[in-house]
Structure 1
Amino acid sequence: MYDIISAIVLGLLEGLTEFLPVSSTGHLILAGHLLGFEGKAADTFKIVIQLGAVLAVFVLYFKRYMDMLKNLLKFDFSDKNKLNAIHLVLAMIPALVVYLVFKDVIKNELFGPGPVLIGLVVGGVLMIVAARAKRRVTAEESDNITYRQAFGIGMFQCLALWPGFSRSGSTISGGLLLGTSQKAAADFTFMISVPVMLGATVLDMYDSREYLTADDMTLFVIGFIAAFVVAMIAVVTFLNLIKRLKLEWFALYRFVLAIVFYLFLM
């Protein structure tokens, strides 16, 4: 029964934090540590529930993905004022390369409470710097993002490979520093999340395939559903919040979270 409760808690936490700039991976590592839900099977569970969050964004952005797919099949990239598959590929490449090269180092050295706390603080500082940088906005909407900006945002996404930095926090900060509006950066972050997270999740699940047992299937399904439902709500809510809530508030939350967990864990 305790494992089921842990699965629900972690599923809800994944769905709520995956697309907020507060680091879902960091929250899951810290929460798993507190719940005593750790080990290889627990790590595999955390990978599986990410698929629930990925599916939520795919459903919400389904029409835009289908439009991109149609243009890709036609090799039609003529509209420079509209996001296309090239933008997504450019944003994916940097983090994919870094992940494939340093995957073992990342998993063995960074997936623990200590590195997460550092990532929360440093990532929060980055968000404050980005929010206060007075850059001229050249992309008010995500469709106005250039190929250069897309690749630059992808470079910032590499920071998210350090648990605690937050993928959305890193990419939104990168977007602000590269001349996008906060809303455009958030929207683009959600768009690139599906191929990026799907690719990383599939690779991780393949590496952890021996722990995908029928005995744990109930926990996986519960966590998956919880993450999917909450992520659907969280994405819509965040897109509304990002229009009027400054990035510094999320940075402040990260600092408070880091302090609380430091006092509790250390």
Structure 2
Amino acid sequence: MDGQTFFDALILGIVEGLTEFIPVSSTGHILLLGHFLGFESTGKTFEVLIQLGAILAILTVYSARLWKIAAALPSDQNARRFVIGILLAFLPAAVIGVMAHGFIKEVLFESPALICSTLLIGGIILLWIDRLDLKPRYTNVMDYPLWLCFVIGVFQCLAMVPGVSRSGSTIAGSLLLGTDKRSAAEFSFFLAMPTMVGAFTYDLYKNRNVLSVDDAAIITVGFIASFIAGVFVVRGLLDFVSRHGFAPFAYWRIFVGLAGFAGLYLVG
């Protein structure tokens, strides 16, 4: 395993951590960047397994909040409803992810042009939603009704297509269903935990017989980089969204989508 591969893994891990929790598609970014870097991972496992770093980042930042919710479960109905809501929101992606795993990894992950298209289209949609004069009815994730949680989970399934963005689809769906921007982003944080743990566990299980020591080494590099970058994003994102909305991310998606198409045209 050469030094260039480790350097590529480091860069891709940083990009994963920086983009996982913002609505720009971390998977789309690392697949597209990996394409231009010439980075190849066994069974496309690197791109999924380094998400563990981002998972630990959000668990670290939200540890006190998570502990408070867990401690309140026996006596607090709102806490129990919130946990059930997160599980309901996770359910659609769990079912579709298992059923479509092979198609996602073997077909969708191998199409840079598709990723550029979804980045571009998603950016335009996110910009449109950000400019709508929506009237929020739900401003606290602890008060989200169960039906709302489930429908947000259905929106999350759109992110099975790389470039759509897990956080982007859940946030866009939340806003259209009546939430405010800050709580939409926060619910996306909480929903990321079971979703990403599930994706990590299932992908590791499916590829357990093909991963090598070299694979483990570059995944570790990407994981550490993803964790460090993810901590910074999680700590600052909610305040940023409260001040600026989602338009900056929409413009970034459009820029990356267009730059990706230009790169594909020039270098293939």
TM-score when normalising by structure 2: 0.91
How far apart, in 1, do the equivalents of 2:156 and 2:91 lie?
10
Aligned to 2:82: 84
Partner of 1:18: 20
Answer yes or no: is 1:203 the counterpart of 2:222.
Answer: no
Residue ranges of structure 2 left out of the alignment (5+ in a row)? none
**Which range moved further: 251-260 or 144-153?**
144-153
The aligned residue for residue 253 of structure 1 is 252
Which residue does 2:162 correspond to in 1?
Answer: 163
Return closer, same or farther for 1:261/1:17 CA change in 2, 3 Å cut-off: same
Per the alignment, residue 31 of structure 1 pairs with 33
Map 1:1-266 to 2 at 5 A: 1-40=3-42, 43-72=44-73, 74=74, 76=75, 78-79=77-78, 84-111=82-109, 112-266=111-265
Q: Are the equivalent residues in 1 in contact too, given 2:81–2:146 (CA < 8 A)? A: no
Give, as a single letter, the amino acid of the residue that structure 1 aligns with 2:89: A
Deviations 1:74-124, CA, capped at 9 Å, x for gaps:
3x55238x8621110111112222222222222222112011112112222
User: RMSD between aligned alpha carbons?
Assistant: 1.8
CA distance in 2, matches of 1:132, 1:83: 31
Question: C-alpha distance in 2, partners of 1:8/1:175?
Answer: 33
Deviation (angstroms), 1:169: 0.8
SS of residue in 2 equivalent to 1:155: helix
Question: Partners in 1 of 2:174 and 2:101 — Cα distance?
Answer: 25
Cα offsets for 1:135-165 (capped at 9, x unmatched):
3211122223221221121111011111001
Give me the whole-angstrom Cα distance separating, in 1, the residues matched to 2:14 and 2:164: 20
Moved beyond 4 Å, runs of 4+: none
Provide the C-alpha distance between the structure 2 equivalents of 1:196 and 1:71, rounded to a whole number of angstroms: 23
86 and 92 in structure 1: CA distance in 2 versus 1, 3 angstrom threshold: same
How many percent identity over aligned positions? 38
Alignment size in residue pairs: 262
The aligned amino acid for 2:195 is V
In 2, Cα distance between equivalents of 1:125 and 1:156: 17
Is contact 2:49-2:203 (8 Å) kept? no
Any idea what SS the aligned residue of 1:212 has?
A: coil
Given that 1:137 and 1:181 are in contact with CA atoms closer than 8 Å, whether structure 2 keeps it comes out as: yes
Change beyond 3 A, Cα 1:183–1:4: same
Structure 2: distance between partners of 1:98 and 1:214: 31
* C-alpha distance in structure 2 between counterparts of 1:77 and 1:107, whole Å: 41
1:194-229: CA deviations, max 9, x gaps? Answer: 111000111011111123322333322221111101
Work out whether residues 153 and 175 of structure 1, in 8 Å CA contact, stay in contact via their aligned partners in 2: yes
- How much has 1:182 moved relative to structure 2? 0.3
Give 1:122's aligned amino acid. Answer: I
Tell me the alpha carbon deviations over residues 7-46 of structure 1, each in whole angstroms, 9 at most, x when there is no partner: 11011111111111110000110111111112426x2222
CA–CA separation in structure 2 for the residues paired with 1:150 and 1:104: 27
Greater Cα offset, 85-94 or 101-110: 101-110
The structural deviation recorded for 1:132 is 2.8
Aligned residue type for 1:5: F
Code of the aligned partner of 1:22: V
User: For the residues of structure 2 that align with 1:196 and 1:24, how far apart are their CA atoms?
Assistant: 14
